[in-house]
Structures are given as structure tokens and as C-alpha cells.
Amino acid sequence: MGRVTTSVMWFRRDLRLGDNPAILEAEAAGPDGVVPLFVLDDRLWTEGATTRTAYLARLLADFSERIGGLHVVHGDPVDEVVRVARRAGASTVHVAADFGPYGSRRDRRVEEALAKHEISLVRTGSPYAVAPGRVTKGDGTGYRVFTPYFRAWEEHGWRAPAPEAKQVPWIRPGGRTRQIPENTVPSGMDLPPLGEQAAAERWHAFLDDDVADYDTTRDLPGDDRTSRMSVHLKWGTIHPRTMLADLAPLRSRGSAAYARELAFREFYADVLHQRPDSAFDYYNRAFAAMEYDEPGSALDAWKAGRTGFPIVDAGMRQLLGEGWMHNRVRMIVASFLVKDLHIEWQHGARHFLEMLVDADLASNQHGWQWVAGCGTDAAPYFRVFNPVTQGKKFDPDGTYIRRWVPELADVETRHVHEPWDLDEPPADYPEPIVDHAEERREALRRYEAIR
Ligand SMILES: Cc1cc2nc3c(=O)[nH]c(=O)nc-3n(C[C@H](O)[C@H](O)[C@H](O)COP(=O)(O)OP(=O)(O)OC[C@H]3O[C@@H](n4cnc5c(N)ncnc54)[C@H](O)[C@@H]3O)c2cc1C
């Protein structure tokens, strides 16, 4: 009998069979069997109710069913990946490259540990159309401003989607495996549909119904017509290359605007790759010296959606209810935390990472830093969002507010953004916890001090 040739496909944020070139490589390297491995990494896996683990647990179960059994182990990937690869007699372990600060360090450690047993870690593709670090300025350094990055990104281009992996000879080595855990969802939250099929259905519904006027509807949270593809992009139940290929022939303003947003996701991944320290520290370090308030009851009111500012509260309650928030409202609530409550952006970003179903380190931390004025290409600090004006402009008839703040459901449109003006404001809705005009002045004073 000839030598048996096997490989390992180590899944991380790429839980799909379509357009997944790493699986095709694993198959070519392991014609006699490919182990479909997922490691519940001690560093990233926490028991208890968090949005991320609850979603991931369900997604793993869905994917496992799809391929007839995912090999799930629990522990440090450096030990576990080596153990599984050796047990399977594999000479290669296949992954999509991870460019995040922790993931890239982890992969280097796994690579070294595998090399001691003459097993190679093979990186094929990444969660991006254009991998971080791939497009650079003339002098070889990375872009710090989105628009020129976007131009270079478009010019660079990307491959066509890879064919679906259909007949992979999946095998499961013996030894310790872990039941896929059933983590509970944070109380009161409904998770969106998940898995590769749900991603494709959502995407095609968006292409059919909403992409053409995405450029005009994307800012209106009451309409709720954005794609909600962020969670699928986060877990790789679809690849952005597939989406870009579908957008290419459309040529509407909406489809162009949408491709630009996908580029934003790639830009932030690129920036984080250039500056891994910016995951938790200030991208513009001058802002570390600004005067901030200690988080206390104001942070709690913000998290609970009880600030007394309707659009802010609606957004924070959408986050609690769905693990997702509309982009325009993410900007409004983030601005409120940083500029009205004077709380450092990291506190808000941490809450988002815990609650968001699409929590993504690069997009979240840089989305926050953009709002806080300390990120790349940031909104100028002195441009302070007024939560009432923002509400009136982007939720003119209060649909979004009424959907998420039941205390205001019966308030007339002309008062829904300023319920404190009513002769009898709803008794169960809080009064504003701050005076926006005063806090705006205070924010500018603090900013002047570091200029
Ligand atoms: C404070 C703050 C925190 C954020 N945190 C996250 C996060 O943790 N994860 C996340 O995926 N996005 C984050 N975003 C970006 C954006 O809000 C979400 O991607 C978007 O709301 C997801 O909904 P959608 O898929 O319907 O978006 P659509 O409007 O349909 O956009 C399509 C896709 O483009 C990408 N995209 C759109 N806007 C942005 C943006 N501003 N930055 C980066 N990518 C973008 C996303 O992948 C999104 O799925 C954040 C933005 C802000 C202001």
C-alpha cells in the first residue's frame, strides 16, 4: 500500500466551503484525508453569556453538521494544532492568514511548533479581498488616509472567487475532542440567522432589493436597509471577493458606494496591521494626554440606553436587543460617550466588542477612534455631533426611536427627539443626564488644552 497523504484545515474566521482557497490547498495536499479542525482557544473562548461565544457556538454546530463533523478541540493552539496534525500524520496545516495582532503572533508560534515536527503551516488567502500590507504608498509605507488607500486598493484588484470545495475527503483523527459547547445568549438578545446559506440568502436579498439606492438609504436607521452582512464577513461565512464579484456588473451608485464600504473594512485591517498598538491605544498619541472623566454611573446609563437622549438610547437598546447597531447610530452614541460624557473611547469600544455580533477589532477600534478624533483620517474633534440634530436629520419621523424606546412610542413626531419639551414628558423615560451645549463647550475646552 502506498503512503497515505493527509492534511489539516484549521478553520478560524472562514467557516464556509464556497470561495475558500485554503480548503482547496488542504485538499490538494491531503488527497487521502483532510482534518477539519477548530480550536477553542483559551485566550478567546470564555464560558458564559457573551454575544461572540453564543454566536460562535451556534455557527460551529451549523458548520459541523454541514461537513459531517468538525473536529473541535479546546486549549492552546500551539499544543492542540501540533497534536492533531501529528495524530493525523499530516505534513501540512492549512489556514487563511490572520493579520490581527493576536492572531498573527499565535500563527507564528504555531508555525514554529509545527516546524519542529517537519510540518508546515500553509497560509492561503485571508479574510480580505486585498490582504493587509499589500497596497502601500510609493515609499513602501502603509496608507494613513482612506481616499488614496481606496484608489490604490481598486487599482490593485483581487482574484476571482475560488470554486466551491465539494468533495473534500474529511477525516477525523481519534483522540480528545470537545463537544461543541452551547453558550447562552445575553439575556433579551435575539441572534441573526447564521451560516453560509444564511449569508448567501441575505446577500442576494440585499442585491435584489436594496443595493441600487444604498448610497441614499444607508444613513437612515428607521429604514433599516443596510445589508447586515457585517456578521457574515466577521466569521467568514462569505468572502468579500464573492461580494465584489457580484457588485462589479451592477454599476449603480448604490453598488459603488457599497464596494467603498467594503474597502473601509479592508483599510482599517491594514491600519491595524501597520499599527498593532492602535487596537487599544490612541492612534494619535496626543489624545492620550487629554483630560477624561472616570467612567461611573454615566457609562452605566449609556450602556443601558437611559441617557434621556432618544436617538442615543434607541441605538444602545438596539445593541442590547440585536447585538447590532446601525452605522449612523454607532457614530452618534460613540460621539456622545466621548464628547458629552468625556469618557475615553476604549470603555465604549470594549462594550461594543462584548455586545456586537459583528465585533471586529479593526473596524470597531478604528471606528471608535475616528469618532473620538484620534484615529486615521479622523473626524475633526471640534465637530461635535448634536444628538438632537442628528436624530432629526437621520430619523426624521422618529421611526427608529419608537421601535427601540417604547416609552416614546406614542410621542408625536415634533417632540420625539426632545421629549423634555412636552408639558408632561413620559414618566418612565429619563431626563437628559447632561446639558449637551454645556458639555460641547467642555469638550472643546479639553481639546484646546492638548492642541
Ligand atoms: C463606533 C463604531 C464601531 C464599529 N464597530 C464595528 C465592528 O465591530 N464590526 C464591523 O464590522 N463594523 C463596525 N463598524 C462599522 C459599521 O458600523 C458596520 O460595519 C455596519 O454598521 C455593519 O452593518 P451592515 O453590514 O448592515 O453595513 P452596510 O452599510 O451594509 O455595509 C456593508 C459592509 O461594509 C463594511 N463597512 C461599512 N461601514 C464600515 C465602516 N465604517 N468601517 C468598516 N467597515 C465598514 C462592513 O463590512 C459592512 O458589513 C463600526 C462603526 C463605528 C462608527
Q: Do 71 and 36 contact (CB within 8 A), yes or no?
A: yes
pLDDT single digits (tens) 62-104 = 999 999 999 999 999 999 999 999 999 999 999 999 999 999 9
Residue 153 contacts residue 118 (beta carbons within 8 Å): no
Q: In angstroms, what is the span from residue 426 Cα to ligand 1's centroid? A: 33
- Say if residue 447's pLDDT is above 60: yes
**Centre of ligand 1 from the C-alpha of residue 116, in Å:** 41
Report the pLDDT averaged over residues 26-48.
Answer: 90
Averaged over 37-45, what is the pLDDT?
Answer: 89
Nearest CA to ligand 1 atom 38: 261
Q: How far apart are CA 312 and CA 199, in angstroms?
A: 29
Residue listed under C-alpha cell 443596510: 226
Task: Say yes or no: CB of residue 361 within 6 Å of ligand 1.
Answer: no
Distance CA 260, CA 246 (A): 14
**Cα 327 to middle of ligand 1, angstroms:** 6
Query: Does ligand 1 lie within 6 Å of residue 359's CB atom?
Result: yes
pLDDT score of 49: 63
* CATH fold label, 6-126: Rossmann fold (3.40.50)
Indicate if ligand 1 lies below 6 Å from the C-beta of 227.
Answer: yes
CA neighbor of 351 nearest in space, from 299, 406, 289: 299
Residues constituting the chain: 451
For residue 2, pLDDT over 80 is answered with no
Banded model confidence at residue 43, pLDDT cuts 50, 70, 90: confident
- DSSP category for residue 76: -
Closest CA to 123 of 5, 44, 212, 29: 29
Q: Report how far residue 69's alpha carbon sits from residue 77's, in angstroms, rounded to the nearest whole number.
A: 19
Better-scored residue on pLDDT, 179 or 327: 327
| Integer Cα distance of 207 and 227 in angstroms | 9
Residue nearest to atom 36 of ligand 1 (CA): 261
Nearest residue to 333 (alpha-carbon basis) of 363, 357, 306:
306
Atom of ligand 1 nearest to the CA of 334: 1
CA 353 to chain centre: 8
State if residue 230 touches ligand 1 by the CB under 6 angstroms criterion: yes
Distance of CA 61 to the CA centre of its chain: 21
Q: 128-161+196-274 sits in which CATH class?
A: mainly alpha
- The answer to whether 401 touches 310, Cβ cutoff 8 Å, is yes
DSSP 139: T
Q: Are 94 and 7 in contact (CB under 8 A)?
A: yes
Residue type, 223: D
Measure Cα distances from 348 to 298, 322, 362 in Å.
Answer: 12, 17, 15
pLDDT tens, position by position, 272-298: 999 999 999 999 999 999 999 999 999
* Ligand 1 mean position, distance from CA 428 (Å): 32
Q: Which three cell numbers stand for residue 87?
A: 495524530
Q: How many of the other CB atoms lie within 10 Å of CB of 438?
A: 10
| Other Cβ atoms closer than 10 A to 414 | 11
Query: Cα of 11 to ligand 1 centre, how many Å?
Result: 23
Q: Whose CA is nearest to atom 22 of ligand 1?
A: 230
Q: What is the structure's pLDDT at 239?
A: 98
Per-domain residue ranges for the chain?
6-126, 128-161+196-274, 285-450
Which CATH number is 285-450 given?
Answer: 1.10.579.10
Cβ contact 29:48 at 8 Å: no
Residue 402, C-alpha cell as written in the block: 419608537
Q: Given the C-alpha cell 478624533, which residue does it identify? A: 373
- Test site for ligand 1: of 128, 361, 363, 370, most ligand atoms within 8 A of the Cβ: 363
| pLDDT tens-digit series, residues 160-219 | 999 999 999 999 887 666 778 777 788 888 899 999 999 999 999 999 999 999 999 999
Question: 3-class DSSP state for residue 122?
Answer: strand
Residue 151's contacts (CB-CB under 8 Å, 6 or more residues apart) are none
Fold match flag (128-161+196-274 vs 285-450): no
pTM for this predicted structure: 0.97
Cα–Cα distance measured from residue 161 to residue 240, given in angstroms and rounded to the nearest whole number: 9
By alpha-carbon position, which residue is closest to atom 47 of ligand 1?
230
Picking from 309, 311, 314, the residue whose alpha carbon sits closest to that of residue 298 is 309
Close Cβ partners of 57 (under 8 Å, ≥ 6 residues apart): 180, 181, 182, 183
Q: Residue 36's closest CA among 76, 79, 3, 65?
A: 65
| Average pLDDT along the chain | 95
Residue 306 corresponds to which cell in the numbers above?
437611559
Name the grid cell of 370.
475616528
The closest alpha carbon to 307, from 345, 355, 341, belongs to 341
Regarding the beta carbon of 96 and ligand 1, being less than 6 Å apart is answered: no
Residue nearest to atom 49 of ligand 1 (CA): 230
Long-range contacts of 152-155 (CB under 8 A, 24+ apart): 153/263, 153/266, 153/267, 154/263
- Supply φ then ψ for residue 72, to 5 degrees: -105, 130
Judge whether 230 and 358 are in contact, CB under 8 Å. yes
Say which DSSP state 166 is in: -
